[in-house]
Amino acid sequence: MKVVVPVKRVIDANIKVRVKADRSGVELNNVKMAMNPFCEIAVEESIRMKESGAAEEIVVVAAGPQQSQETIRTALAMGADRGILIQTDVPLEPLAVSKLLKSVIEREGPGLVVMGKQAVDNDNNQTGQMLSAKLNWSLGTFVSKIEIKDDSFEVVREVDGGLETVSLSKPSVITVDLRLNEPRYASLPNIMKARRKPIETLTPDELGVDVTPRIEVVEVNEPPNRQAGIKVSSAAELIEKLRDEAKVLA
């Protein structure tokens, strides 16, 4: 079974995000970038599938600027086999990404797509669902456990009420949650080997996909500073303040 793993280059999760002076977006110049944490979990899970003999090849796909090659190399150093970069400097929306991935997946013919449930830069949580719909494949979202059967995938989903176990017919798209695994660190020998692993570069035009943005960002602002709390002397005073000042009670 071939496994395709989409990955995304985002601002390092440990870095404080800064808004541009003109409020047109988030500052990316001279900012440390890294692989989206949920994507790391997806890469790790696909590698474990290969180590167990369930997967034969792992193909990592990234869409974005040329620097996204670094993200692919990170996945290759972890243990993926080869990479595909869909190179474009146009800001990509989930719909465009799902169309690009659909074209690549139809070329590659995998039995499974494992991807992060969302990216930490925009938190859209849309690409996996859109990709499943376009491919007409079964879908498992927010997955914290994957068990591979002969003709299906049994997954445990994290839902509001607890855990839900579902069976997915193959082929499938699975979006993973934080509790699925703990991603490994790439060793120095594997980092050196990753430099020799192939990365194919494509463009949206070659895939026949229009990635023109459909959404215009009007303005980006930092959240307001959190206000200091106050102490109340009684439950009655608390209810009064929630009703009259906070306006959260009718």
DSSP string, 2-32: EEEEEE-EEE-TTSPP-B-TTSSSB--TT--
Cβ atoms within 10 Å, residue 37: 16
What pLDDT was estimated at residue 128?
97
Cβ atoms within 10 Å, residue 11: 19
- The answer, as to whether pTM is greater than 0.85, is yes
Find the distance separating the first CA and the last CA of the chain, reported in whole Å. Answer: 57
Please state, in angstroms and rounded to a whole number, the distance separating the CA atoms of residues 12 and 30: 12
Closest CA to 222 of 18, 82, 54: 18
pLDDT tens, per residue, the chain with 250 residues: 999 999 999 999 888 889 999 998 888 888 999 999 999 999 999 999 999 999 999 999 999 999 999 999 999 999 999 999 999 999 999 999 999 999 999 999 999 999 999 999 999 999 999 999 999 999 999 999 999 998 999 999 999 989 999 999 999 999 999 999 999 999 999 999 999 999 999 999 999 999 999 999 899 998 888 888 889 999 999 999 899 888 888 7
Please state, in angstroms and rounded to a whole number, the distance separating the CA atoms of residues 40 and 180: 11
Q: What does the domain layout of the chain look like in residue ranges?
A: 2-225
In the chain, which ranges are E strands?
Answer: 2-7, 9-11, 33-35, 57-64, 82-87, 112-116, 138-148, 152-159, 162-169, 172-176, 199-202
223 contact partners, CB below 8 Å, separation of at least 6: none
Helices then strands, each counted (H, E), the chain: 7, 11
What pLDDT was estimated at residue 181?
96
Pairing mode, if any, of strands 82-87 and 152-159? unpaired
Q: What are the tokens at 185? A: 């660190």
Superfamily assignment of 2-225 in CATH?
Answer: HUPs (3.40.50.620)
Cβ atoms within 10 Å, residue 86: 26
Buried residues in 101-135 as b, exposed as e (16+ CB within 10 A): bbbbbeeeebbbbbbbbbbbbeeebbbbbbbbebb
Please state, in angstroms and rounded to a whole number, the distance separating the CA atoms of residues 15 and 189: 28
What pLDDT was estimated at residue 75?
98
Note the residue count of the chain: 250
